[in-house]
Chains A and B, each alone.
Chain A
Amino acid sequence: MEASTPNEEPVQIIYDFKCTSCGIDEKTHYKGTNPPFSRNIVLKYPSYVMKDPFSPPGKGEILVLGSDCTICGQTVCINKECSLFYKKNYCLDCAKNLIETFPVEIKNKLVQIKKK
């Protein structure tokens, strides 16, 4: 069980994560695409990752909270009212600006969210 988590480093770097859209504010343990505490999950886009707070330590479970928008660099969470993921992560504002560049499925999705 313990195999997957290397023993905690004495100094743990904490990445503050705060969604600029909804304001959720958490401390995360990692930012990037290869979270060290779960080696066979790889992310396509660098994100803020915390060790899953809802499962016991050493289980290798992670919780991805969100990432920086690829266009404007604002931090946004994965909630669909805050961000859009399509190959990369976009904050909703940037996604709307770029709406024409997305395939039709994503366009529709954005329109749906806009309506709300």
Chain B
Amino acid sequence: MGRSPSPGRSNNYYKRRRSRSRDRDKDRYKVRKTSPGSSTSNRIEEDFSFTYYKRELNKIILSSNESNTVVNNLDDFWVFLKKYEATLKKAGKPIIDYDPEENSDESSQNFSKFHCINFTSSIKFVDTACYDRDRKKLDKKLFQAFMNIVSIYTDFKNKEKFEKLRKLRQAQKDLPVAKYRNEIVSAVQNERVVVVAGDTGCGKSTQVPQYLHEAGFQSIACTQPRRIACVSLSKRVAYEMLTQFESKVGYQIRFEKSKTADTKICFITEGLLLRQMSSENLPNYDVIILDEVHERHLMGDFLLGILKCLIHSRNDIKLVLMSATINIKLFEDYFSAESAVVIQVPGRLFPIQLHYKPILVEDKPTRDDRLDPQPYVQVMQLIDNKYPRDERGDLLIFMSGVQEITAIAEAAQQYAEKDKKWIVLPLHSGLSLAEQDKVFDYPPDGVRKCIVSTNIAETSVTIDGIRFVVDSGKVKEMSYDSTSKMQRLKEFWISKASADQRKGRAGRTGPGVCYRIYSEQQYNDMESFSTPEVSRVPLASLLLLMSSLGVSDVRRFPFLDAPPDDAVENALLELKQHGALTSNEKLTALGRTLANLPVEVCLAKTLVLGAATLPPHKLDSALALAAALGIRSIYTTRAHRDFECENARRPDESDHGDPLTLLSLYCAWLREKRDTRGGRAWCRRRGIEEQRLYELTKLAAQLRNLLQDNNLMEAPEPASMSSSERALRHGQMKQLKDARRQFKQKAANDLKRKKRLKVDSWEIVDENTNADDDVIDIRDVEFRMTNDAARIQSLIAGSSASSGRDLVMLKVVLCRALYPQVAVADNFNHHKSISEQLYHTWSKPFVYLHPTSYFGKLPRTLQLTEADIHSDLPVSLGFDSKLPVSSKHQILCYLSLLETTKPYIVNSMRMPAAQTLLLLAHSIETNIGFTRIVCDSWLLLEFPYPESGLNLLLKAVKLRRRWDALINRRIADATPTKSVESELEKEKLPKISYDETQHDLSCDMSTYMNSEVYYTIKRLLPGDLKVIYAGYDEAHPSIEPNPFDETFVCRPHEKKGGVYVTDNVVYNCVVDTLWSAKNYEETYSEPWKCSNCELTVCLSPVERLQHTHFTCSAKEEKKDVEAPRSSREIKPNAKEYVCDVCKVTLYLTPVEILKHKKGCKMK
């Protein structure tokens, strides 16, 4: 048995210790070859090991009921112990090494390694009473020896952690920004606006918030353009501040926040901070840091403008702008009035060699404009020849778009096949997250990564270890034509700033090389800076948000770069069309509600209309639909190429179009979630990115909360669960939380282990993903944590709208929200192939159906069949149009237009044409006989059967009025009015419940939408429009009383002629053609017999209406009008009114005055 060890061979100990850093990776415990041996070592059993007592020792350690380093890392500890023992054995030293007798010798001359260790363990020995005859009993003394090893382990762990901390601090100190710490802090303390300019890698994003916090700022907001950056930065900064388990540093993004009352530094998305500005309670920030302002995102630019105004009213807020060293002057000038201070931090960039046109390629245009991958492959070859394999360094190729990436990646892959020196990895935002993450993994030795990326790797994604950059000089960017309301995805030359940014990516970890495929001349011809987003995107949402933030004149807003004037005007027009702004550009109640919903205007409108129109239990369908259209495409790139995916999706496709297909797929996925665990395989089979469906669920839930916050939806009653249900759910939650914990642990472990890429990993993606079905699907776990079985069930019930009235209402709601985004088929589509089907929209003629859309694949669904065409029209009608007469004409209502190779309609839904147009068109014009109706000066509907057009229009007008009233009532109820009187007034009025109104409306709407009417539809060309209107006529027929809207006072249309009979309908301004004149003549010269009374007389269509509406039913109606009036209180807008017929003085509102007039005349 070992006793106090004797000195000797200690040199060895230190030597080995030093070797530690070298082979630490291989075996970090080897180094603990400590302890000089004891001369008595051979007295112990040769093969003694504490591992024999593992069970007992574990028991003692765990029974102490205390948590400490050993308990928390028990497995790790035993690994350590084994290695430690092995080392001792090899050195011929005893394993059992007792403590030096503390009081035996006070002189420090007697060395013991335990004296070098500060730690002791106070775990008490417990006799485990486990006696093994063959072995030495585990007694207190032995245990003490064991405890010494525990102390060594604790010391070792402590040193490890301390080293980690020291390295972290060292790394922080080495950051370029660290030298400017004092300068930055004092600038922020003394000035209003500070610009910190530094290139990527200088550490500004992580360090500046910390500097300011340590300097005493208590509430720091730091904006990021990307959600993901908020999360990762907050994690990183919390780690650096040693508060990763506290909430001092938090984040706030659209779907989540980790911010609490303790939070001092909050990373927040630009959009969210903007919305905080609109709510009256802007958190009490003392510093607002705007990061990455050079990226010039829409929200970032707008935020700059808002903050520029804000710091004038709020003296207590400091503003810090952080940007790359691009165009600093722009920001400096913008804040010149506020005398911004600029602090430039040099980046940490290694020298980069620059080569233009490294490969001589002839500039001959290749066949059908296809991209030639040769130059790119040759650069790979060049690298192979010039740089030895053992010199590390990866290659990053910048291409413009997904197609180009695929082309290059394929060619590169082919080249890599030869000697397996390359791993080719595509990178773009369309890839799944798992695929994207691969670019961060490590290649085996002697193999380089070749990452082919969009400009996502320019700023958003930073990959370490890049030594070579190949720049194609191109980028695909979205631009927006506000006149045709079409987005364009087009390839452009990049800007100089962008080219330099790309080049810089080669010099982050060491000296690098940048190959520009283009010439130096081309570089010199480039624009200095990229076009800011504000000039390239639709502005409607932004302008609406501005209005709701109280920007009185959006045209005079101090933008960093003003957007084009016509873009602003067109966006304002769009907002007016949506009813969000009044004609004099004041925000309406609808507009205010829309601005509170953080999705595109038309989707927000879908929600508001849905909330007003759909019964509460069906509101989920509108939420899910808006969310489905609000997220990025749920389909993977495979979805439309792989035949099997298409087949698998088919049962869930809806022949009503893409939006409803999305909804139906979502419901099917929910059912899958309900019935089985998982859903991942289900999604993979259909080519759907499951992550998007989780996002959809989250967005829908968030929209639901927003609707509730805006009083547009009743908050659900807390679900009443029986105790057994509660117990079940509790058990589930426990399981789920366990699973989540396991996953997090595993993820943490994975992080430690570097992931190695396999050379041919590129091709076997699918097999790999199959294998991971057993591992925990963390998103599924989180989904189930927020959605219990009952919730999933109600989502399914609420979201499905496959038939009947629910479907009609949902479609009408969506269509109204999207209007005027409708398209009609070209007349010659019958004769054309699938890919040549042409459509015309209100804003842009000649567009195609997107090939991946439902109708793009099955355009016949939209065409009339032989049976649909009404060919046996009575000759007596004299109808002479060559266009097909049918009751089955359909139009498409669509979400957006997108031009890639061709202009395409994206996300379309079919609607019955005449019904939809008459219900939703902003302006409807008719001829005298209501047989020719023009909608929005764009489409002409002709009804050969007399009265059929009139009847349909009349129904449409009435439905529209009822619907408008319902929506207005909903919004009015949602926006509490300030005055107490009007509140009281509201309560007094007898109210029909929403349910009832909604139900009645949906019944009538459904009948209306399905009504059978025969007509033709024709798109009017500019030439047609010149001759179709009668023009202004002094002697317009006065329509009094007005059968369309009793309260509406008719007025002439000043250009087209005719009279307005409602806000949207102009009567008698469309000229007649031969057939319609004849038709009118014949129909209305015949005596007409009223079906209610015995009257038989020749009347015009309007006169007939007047008769049935007023004369015939006047008797009953009069009573209705008179009776309630006496009991009604005087309304606030009532005026004194003396009726000149009955000579009575009354207090009436304008509407009541009209009613009274009418009533009097009847008498």
Which residues from A are CB-within-8-Å of B257?
Answer: none
Asked if A4 is at the interface (CB within 8 A of a chain B CB), the reply is yes
B162 contacts A78, CB within 8 Å? Answer: yes
Shortest C-beta distance, B164 to chain A (Å), equals 7
Partner of A42, one of B10, B66, B69, B122: B122
Report the Cα distance A86→B112, complex, angstroms: 9
A interface footprint on B303-344 (CB within 8 Å = 1, 0 otherwise): 000000000000000000000000000000000000000000
Shortest C-beta distance, A72 to chain B (Å), equals 18
Asked if B676 is at the interface (CB within 8 A of a chain A CB), the reply is no
Residue of B64, B67, B169 contacting most chain A CB atoms (<10 Å): B67
Which residues from B are CB-within-8-Å of A85?
Answer: 116-118
Asked if B165 is at the interface (CB within 8 A of a chain A CB), the reply is yes
Which residues from A are CB-within-8-Å of B68?
Answer: 4, 38, 40-41, 59-61
Asked if B617 is at the interface (CB within 8 A of a chain A CB), the reply is no
Shortest C-beta distance, A102 to chain B (Å), equals 6
Asked if A55 is at the interface (CB within 8 A of a chain B CB), the reply is yes
Asked if B123 is at the interface (CB within 8 A of a chain A CB), the reply is yes
Report the Cα distance A59→B68, complex, angstroms: 6
A3 contacts B67, CB within 8 Å? Answer: yes
Residue of A nearest to B162 (CB): A78
Shortest C-beta distance, A116 to chain B (Å), equals 10
Asked if B1084 is at the interface (CB within 8 A of a chain A CB), the reply is no
Residue of A nearest to B163 (CB): A79
B72 contacts A59, CB within 8 Å? Answer: yes
Shortest C-beta distance, A29 to chain B (Å), equals 11
B111 contacts A61, CB within 8 Å? Answer: no
* Known A40-B66, A105-B36: A61·B72 in contact at CB below 8 Å: yes
Considering only residues 150-175 of chain B, those with a C-beta below 8 Å from chain A are 154, 158-159, 161-162, 164-166, 169
A42 contacts B7, CB within 8 Å? Answer: no
Which residues from B are CB-within-8-Å of A61?
Answer: 67-69, 72
Which residues from A are CB-within-8-Å of B169?
Answer: 24-25
Report the Cα distance A17→B598, complex, angstroms: 47
A interface footprint on B114-137 (CB within 8 Å = 1, 0 otherwise): 011111111100000000000000
A106 contacts B14, CB within 8 Å? Answer: no
Asked if B353 is at the interface (CB within 8 A of a chain A CB), the reply is no
Shortest C-beta distance, A51 to chain B (Å), equals 9
B67 contacts A1, CB within 8 Å? Answer: yes
B14 contacts A41, CB within 8 Å? Answer: no
B162 contacts A63, CB within 8 Å? Answer: yes
Residue of B nearest to A61 (CB): B69
Partner of A55, one of B7, B72, B154, B166: B72
Residue of A22, A55, A89 contacting most chain B CB atoms (<10 Å): A55
Report the Cα distance A105→B242, complex, angstroms: 36
Which residues from A are CB-within-8-Å of B242?
Answer: 26, 50, 53
Which residues from B are CB-within-8-Å of A76?
Answer: none
Report the Cα distance A3→B64, complex, angstroms: 11
* Known A58-B67, A105-B7: A63·B122 in contact at CB below 8 Å: no
B158 contacts A79, CB within 8 Å? Answer: no
Residue of A nearest to B67 (CB): A60
A78 contacts B67, CB within 8 Å? Answer: no
Residue of A nearest to B164 (CB): A54
Asked if B243 is at the interface (CB within 8 A of a chain A CB), the reply is yes
Report the Cα distance A103→B111, complex, angstroms: 6
B interface footprint on A77-94 (CB within 8 Å = 1, 0 otherwise): 111000001110100000
Which residues from B are CB-within-8-Å of A42?
Answer: 119-122
**Chain B interface residue count, Cβ-Cβ cutoff 8 angstroms:** 41
Residue of B nearest to A112 (CB): B14
Asked if A32 is at the interface (CB within 8 A of a chain B CB), the reply is no
Asked if A7 is at the interface (CB within 8 A of a chain B CB), the reply is no
B162 contacts A86, CB within 8 Å? Answer: no
Shortest C-beta distance, A112 to chain B (Å), equals 6
Report the Cα distance A62→B67, complex, angstroms: 11
Partner of A109, one of B14, B117, B245: B14
Residue of B nearest to A86 (CB): B115
* Known A78-B159, A86-B108, A105-B7: A44·B120 in contact at CB below 8 Å: yes
Shortest C-beta distance, B113 to chain A (Å), equals 8
* Known A102-B108, A103-B7: A4·B66 in contact at CB below 8 Å: yes
Partner of A63, one of B115, B165, B245: B165
Partner of B245, one of A39, A45, A57, A64: A57
Asked if B190 is at the interface (CB within 8 A of a chain A CB), the reply is no
Asked if B803 is at the interface (CB within 8 A of a chain A CB), the reply is no
B7 contacts A79, CB within 8 Å? Answer: no
Shortest C-beta distance, B259 to chain A (Å), equals 19
Asked if B1010 is at the interface (CB within 8 A of a chain A CB), the reply is no
Partner of B162, one of A57, A65, A103: A65
Residue of A nearest to B161 (CB): A63
Shortest C-beta distance, B33 to chain A (Å), equals 14
Residue of A nearest to B65 (CB): A3
Report the Cα distance A38→B118, complex, angstroms: 15
Asked if B945 is at the interface (CB within 8 A of a chain A CB), the reply is no
A interface footprint on B64-79 (CB within 8 Å = 1, 0 otherwise): 1111110110000000
Asked if A20 is at the interface (CB within 8 A of a chain B CB), the reply is no
B164 contacts A40, CB within 8 Å? Answer: no
Which residues from B are CB-within-8-Å of A62?
Answer: 69, 158
Which residues from A are CB-within-8-Å of B104?
Answer: none
Asked if B1091 is at the interface (CB within 8 A of a chain A CB), the reply is no
Which residues from B are CB-within-8-Å of A22?
Answer: 166
Shortest C-beta distance, B214 to chain A (Å), equals 11
Shortest C-beta distance, B514 to chain A (Å), equals 38
Shortest C-beta distance, B551 to chain A (Å), equals 45
Considering only residues 85-108 of chain B, those with a C-beta below 8 Å from chain A are 108
Which residues from B are CB-within-8-Å of A44?
Answer: 117-120
B119 contacts A39, CB within 8 Å? Answer: no
Report the Cα distance A90→B682, complex, angstroms: 65
Considering only residues 935-983 of chain B, those with a C-beta below 8 Å from chain A are none
Shortest C-beta distance, B242 to chain A (Å), equals 4
Residue of B110, B154, B165, B244 contacting most chain A CB atoms (<10 Å): B165
Considering only residues 240-286 of chain B, those with a C-beta below 8 Å from chain A are 242-246
B115 contacts A41, CB within 8 Å? Answer: no
Report the Cα distance A67→B119, complex, angstroms: 13
* Known A54-B161, A63-B165, A108-B11: A43·B67 in contact at CB below 8 Å: no
A101 contacts B108, CB within 8 Å? Answer: yes
A103 contacts B110, CB within 8 Å? Answer: yes
Asked if A104 is at the interface (CB within 8 A of a chain B CB), the reply is yes
Shortest C-beta distance, A66 to chain B (Å), equals 9
Partner of A64, one of B14, B109, B118, B121: B118
* Known A57-B245, A102-B108: A40·B64 in contact at CB below 8 Å: yes
Considering only residues 1-16 of chain B, those with a C-beta below 8 Å from chain A are 7, 10-11, 13-14
Asked if A75 is at the interface (CB within 8 A of a chain B CB), the reply is no
* Known A55-B72, A105-B7, A105-B36: A79·B162 in contact at CB below 8 Å: yes
B14 contacts A108, CB within 8 Å? Answer: yes
A interface footprint on B1-43 (CB within 8 Å = 1, 0 otherwise): 0000001001101100000000000000000000010000000
Residue of B66, B69, B166 contacting most chain A CB atoms (<10 Å): B69
B interface footprint on A1-28 (CB within 8 Å = 1, 0 otherwise): 1011000000000000000001011100
Closest A-B pairs by Cβ, 7 of them:
A53-B242, A103-B111, A105-B10, A60-B67, A4-B67, A40-B122, A60-B68
Which residues does B use to contact A, with CB under 8 Å?
7, 10-11, 13-14, 36, 64-69, 71-72, 108-111, 115-123, 154, 158-159, 161-162, 164-166, 169, 242-246
Contacts A38-B69, A60-B66 known; 4 new A-B pairs at CB < 8 A? A3-B67, A41-B154, A77-B162, A86-B115
Q: List 28 A-B contacts (CB under 8 A).
A: A3-B65, A3-B67, A24-B166, A24-B169, A38-B66, A40-B64, A40-B68, A40-B123, A41-B69, A41-B121, A42-B120, A42-B122, A53-B242, A53-B243, A54-B164, A55-B72, A57-B246, A77-B162, A78-B158, A78-B159, A79-B162, A79-B166, A86-B108, A89-B118, A103-B108, A104-B10, A105-B10, A105-B111
Which residues does A use to contact B, with CB under 8 Å?
1, 3-4, 22, 24-26, 38-45, 47, 50, 52-65, 67, 77-79, 85-87, 89, 101-106, 108-109, 112
